[in-house]
Amino acid sequence: MAQIVVIGAGMGAMAAAARLAVAGHRVTVFERAETYGGSVGTLERDGFRFDTGPGLLPLPAVYRDLFIKTGKQPLEDCVDLVQVDPAVRHLFADGTAVDVPNASRAGTVDAIEAALGGGAGERWAQFLNRAREAWDRARRPLLEEPLWEDWRVLGERDPYPAVRRSGLLRKRPPTFGEAMKHELADPRLIALVESSVLAYGLDPRTVPASAAVLPYMEQAFGTWYVRGGIRELARAVYERCVQRRVEFVFGAEVVRIVEKDGRAAGVELADGSVHEAEHVLAGVDPQPLADRPLHVPGQDAVLDTARVRPGRCTVLLALRGAREDGAAHRTVVHAPDRKAELDALAGGFGPGVRPTVTVLRPGDPALVPDDGHESVVLTSAAHKIADTEDFADRMLTAAERAVPGLRDRLLWHEIRTQGPVPHPALAGADARYLYPSNTTRLPGLYRAGGWAHPGGGLPHAGMSGALVAGLIVEGPDFRGSQ
């Protein structure tokens, strides 16, 4: 039984802590904030409650597995998990609307064809077949296994089987945007699939075609909501950790990783105290806490930080009046000018450029003071916002298409901005979209969370915890989740 110190109480770190405690280890989590959950936060004001991080859960199997492996109560006994239907409503600039059913391939094909016509449904079905091939090829190495030692091979070939026809670039694999333009043709259908990429602030003109796995995951495994907000999932994971005797110390900032005999041997806190451990798991970037470089150039995958990485703007809306019948839980309001938006993501949102906005309207009684009010969250990827109030106003203008009478109903709003949101690891593009491995160049020090393999998103954070726990419990021969 080893003593293990965990830095940070984010979702990946807690997922690892629970698994390690079940394996018999003594686990202590030091978190500099006063609560758990990391980016899975919440705001409460005047009887309203809002998720300030993720608002929906894709691929819930990751957390179902966590709860099965760490206790008798399954996930559904700990949170009220419900499917969102329709999974999303898309509103395009020309007034067209598409309601995408939850995890229904046939239903989605029919809905797209009925709304867009011209064979759009069949083109979507063919795209989904190719995206499934990419998922089948990339799932194990990019989600369920530790990062390969020969990780460069993951960047040499894009797993997306793009259709090859005359006129398509042949000197290099097509980007996601190039492949979609070639295969889907209809700008509205292209915008529909690109919205899954834009949600992470990724530019479809530069991201590899393997990004097709992002809309595929949503279509294949569905979109889920936790009643009370996604923060309830963080609560359930935290409580599972406590049940497994994981110790949490909040308000405790780690300032240094202690080394002894060439390996991690514990941590030093801001108050000067030192806590020894056989293993240290960092749910944050450990480099600023280490006395040595944790990456050896050319020998360890390092996320390409030179790329422009937009952040996220979130607007929390407290509205008078109940949600109307037929309202969608999630609506994506597409930008009227795709090129202007993508240029702004790379260079900054100047005056007048309209972003794609995601509108979340859960209709959950737990989020409002009474049934005469509504809690709404708007999100958009953004880069270099000069005036946050002006940008929020543009988001409100877009959201008016999804929320009838929005401005007349508005009681108050709050604006939240944050830095880059980690995306799931992607194959291709010379490995520029991979993340550092879960092990480091310092023996005994591990990484978990959105900025480590296999990348960002709630499922990927949970899998990072599973991978780290496997590496500690089973050692370097661990080959991944089954």
Long-range contacts of residues 191-197, Cβ cutoff 8 Å, at least 24 apart: 191/90, 191/92, 191/334, 191/338, 191/356, 192/90, 192/98, 192/100, 192/112, 193/127, 194/338, 195/90, 195/332, 195/334, 195/356, 195/358
Please compute, for residue 180, the number of CA atoms within 13 A of its CA located in the half-sphere on the CB side: 29
Q: What is the pLDDT of residue 445?
A: 97
- pLDDT of the residue at 372: 97
State the Cα–Cα distance between residues 84 and 151, nearest whole angstrom.
Answer: 36
CATH code at 3-40+63-76+228-294+440-474: 3.50.50.60
Strand partners, 257: 267
Q: What is the model's pLDDT at position 295?
A: 82
Residue 164's pLDDT is what?
57
CA distances from residue 401 to 87, 89, 361, 407 in whole angstroms, order as listed? 18, 12, 13, 11
- The domain limits of the chain are 3-40+63-76+228-294+440-474, 88-221, 310-418
Cβ neighbours around 246 below 10 Å, total: 23
The reported pLDDT for the residue numbered 163 is 64
d(CA 226, CA 231): 8
For residue 166, the model assigns a pLDDT of 45
Report how far residue 391's alpha carbon sits from residue 248's, in angstroms, rounded to the nearest whole number.
39
- What average pLDDT values come out for the chain (482 residues) when binned by 10 residues? 96 98 97 96 97 95 97 96 96 96 94 96 96 96 94 92 57 86 94 95 94 95 96 98 98 98 97 98 95 81 75 96 96 95 86 92 97 97 87 96 97 94 94 94 95 95 97 90 68
Residue with structure tokens 């405690």? 21
Neighbouring C-alpha atoms within 13 Å toward the C-beta of 7: 31
Buried b (16+ CB within 10 A) or exposed e, 48-62: bbbbbbbbbbbbbeb
Q: How far apart are CA 310 and CA 344, in angstroms?
A: 10
CATH code of the domain occupying 310-418: 3.30.519.10
How many CA atoms, within 13 angstroms, populate the side-chain half-sphere of residue 23?
A: 21
Task: State the pLDDT at residue 170.
Answer: 53
